[in-house]
Amino acid sequence: MNTNDVRKNQKVGVLLGGASAEREVSLKTGEAIYGALCRLGVNAEKIYVDGDLDRVLRQNPIDVAFIALHGTQGEDGCVQGLLELLGIPYTGSGVLESALAFDKVKAKELFRLHNVPTPPYYAVDGSKIDRMEEIHGSFGFPAFVKPRRSGSSVGAGKASSLGELKARCEEAAKFDRSVLVERFVQGSEVAVGILDGRALGAVEIVPKGRFYDYKSKYSKGQSDYYFPPRLSPTRYKGVLNIAERAAQCLGVTGAARVDLLVTEGHNEYVLEVNTLPGMTETSLLPMIAQGAGYSFDALVGAILERATLGHAGPRVVGAAGTTGADVAKNA
């Protein structure tokens, strides 16, 4: 089966945009994915997501949704639930898995239940920030603050005093009514790429700013990268193992990225699991996948191959048994 047959028999809608604070990143991710699908010979169409996605999908039916959204109403299970109701297979994790991974507090609860190391933390309601001295108590400084449900380091920052803590919490509360306060851990930032529950490899990130913030993530030249990370072979293997355990305890499927901190004291801490990793020219998952032998187009094809509808099992994307992986191989 060649790519023309796939193009004739399947229509893939790339969902991009959205209304979250990460809309601009989503647009870049979606454009990159759309370009790869076109090069693979897939009949792809860009679908810009606003408040009327249900109507758009009913008026312009697609066979498979390639989700290129980031942030709320994209990564949190909402769009996944809509696609389930419409009977449209989609890329990435399911409704529950997406929601659990996106909620940093619920994810940490599961990490702790499954003995996956993660920094100490607590959550605070945005309406109670004026009580931070009482709430923070003996937790100590420095601390790291981030919105409970958000990504791309939006609204995140380090606090070294009570005054900074209140200011950081107020900023984070602009993006979510609940704020996560985490023990600051000094260490190297390492991201692990996951596909089908198995680690593809890892990359070490060295931001030129204070931490790996929005600018460091999406502006060229703002971070240095080491692939593989500057770790001993034994420790590198351990980092990959921890990342796999983190993804497995949340039940994520398809492609994902696990973010960790690796300290000089030989401790590793999982920060979060991203179920819809960025796919821009500075994104980490494509960088890791390339080191594992996947071109960008092949990675997109592999993700498309794994599009599913709920728990019904893998959905074959191409006609007559042709999958995204076959498309990638034949491109």
* Residue among 274, 283, 297, 318 flagged as catalytic: 274
Radius of gyration of the chain (CA): 20
Q: What values do phi and psi take at 38, rounded to 5?
A: -65, -40
Which of 87, 63, 77 is closest to 14 using CA atoms? 63
Residue in this structure with the two tokens 């603050």, named with its chain if needed: 145
- Catalytic residue of the set 151, 254, 278, 301: 278
Residue 259 is a catalytic residue: yes
Which residues lie across from 183 on neighbouring strands? 143
The residue annotated as part of the active site, out of 34, 214, 218, 294, is: 218
Whether residue 121 lies in the annotated active site:
no
Q: Which of 97, 103, 204, 259 is catalytic?
A: 259
Options 7, 149, 257, 306, the catalytic residue:
257
- 24 catalytic? Reply is no
What whole-number distance in Å separates Cα of residue 259 and Cα of residue 274?
Answer: 8
Whole-angstrom Cα distance, residue 222 to residue 264? 23
Q: Looking at 20, 26, 152, 283, which residue is catalytic?
A: 152
The first and second tokens of residue 137, run together, are 């108590």
Return the bridge partners of 274, or none.
257
The residues near 295 (Cβ < 8 Å, ≥ 6 apart) are none
Beta-bridge mates of residue 226: 204
The DSSP code for 263 is -
- Catalytic annotation on 257? yes
Q: Given the residues 182, 272, 297, 305, select the one marked as catalytic.
A: 272
Q: Which long-range contacts (CB under 8 A, 24 or more apart) does 160-165 make?
A: 162/132, 162/133, 162/136, 165/132, 165/136, 165/141
| Residue 272 annotated as catalytic | yes
71 catalytically annotated: no
Q: Which among 13, 22, 75, 254 is annotated as catalytic? A: 22
**End-to-end Cα distance, the chain:** 12
Residue listed under structure tokens 């003996």: 138
278 annotated active-site: yes
Give catalytic residues, as residue numbers: 22, 152, 218, 257, 259, 272, 274, 278
